[in-house]
Amino acid sequence: MAGNTRVGVLALQGDVREHAALLAGLGADVVLVRRPDDLASVDGLVIPGGESSVIDKLSRIFGMQEPIRERIAAGLPVYGTCAGLILLANTVLDGIEGQQSFGGMDIEVRRNAFGRQTESFETDLDVPALGEPTVRATFIRAPIVERVGAGVDALASLPDGTVVAVQQGNLIGTSFHPEVDGETRFHARFLALAEAFARTRSMRAAPVP
């Protein structure tokens, strides 16, 4: 499906291996991104679940925060799950003191909105953009999207209307973990964006006859 499209998984903390394995299974060339040079080589980036505050701090320690922000601003496709969704939000409503995000999505998110890890749960979600069947979604200390900006599409909501999956252009975010359940369609959607981005970048780099 993905050909030789090179995509990265931000490998500072979190469930990196699960994302890398799923993307490789879809045919992508997967890079573990820890340094700015790693980031420069990819046409898409996954920000995994984990601890958003820890990923934020490590991104600054390893000089990754600004390069990621710059590439997001330049249109790099990014898919964030759970903590990754928090890091893509322009506004984090209840971050710890000094916590920052990469931003890019005009959303407000609330961390750990469902409580402790012992209150994790699974459910089936209708995601019209992905078609049938429903998506089996695992929520682990998950965030929720409390405000969706005008340019953001809500891809999925819980029965009470709580938004748990969003897309804004080349950026996708889910409160849940598709990689835990072997659900590939969100990653395939992300890879399609990365393939298109790679083609555009190749066209720009091609010499003028």
Residue of 49 and 117 predicted with greater confidence: 49
Averaged pLDDT of the chain: 92
Q: Which of 18, 108, 119, 177 is catalytic?
A: 177
Residue 52's CB is within 10 A of a number of other CB atoms, namely 29
Please report the pLDDT score of residue 112 as a whole number: 81
Amino acid at 4: N
Mean pLDDT computed over 168-193: 96
The pTM assigned to this predicted structure is 0.93
Name the amino acid, one letter, at 58: L
Catalytic residue among 18, 19, 179, 183: 179
- Which of 19, 66, 70, 82 does the annotation list as catalytic? 82
DSSP 201: H
Alpha-carbon gap, residue 53 to 100, rounded angstroms: 8
State residue 71's pLDDT score.
98
Cis omega before residue 209 (within 30°)?
A: no
Give domain limits for the chain: 6-205
* Residue owning tokens 């394995």: 21
Coil, helix or strand for 136? strand
Residue 82 designated active-site: yes
pLDDT surpasses 80 at 12 = yes
Q: Beta strand pairing status for 163-168 and 153-157?
A: antiparallel
Q: Where does the pLDDT of residue 56 fall: very low under 50, low under 70, confident under 90, or very high at 90 and above? A: very high
Residue 182 three-state SS? coil
Q: What is the pLDDT of residue 202?
A: 67
pLDDT at 208 over 50: no
Q: What is the pLDDT of residues 77-132, one digit of tens each?
A: 999 999 999 999 999 998 899 999 999 999 999 998 876 665 688 999 999 999 99
Fold assignment, 6-205:
Rossmann fold (3.40.50)
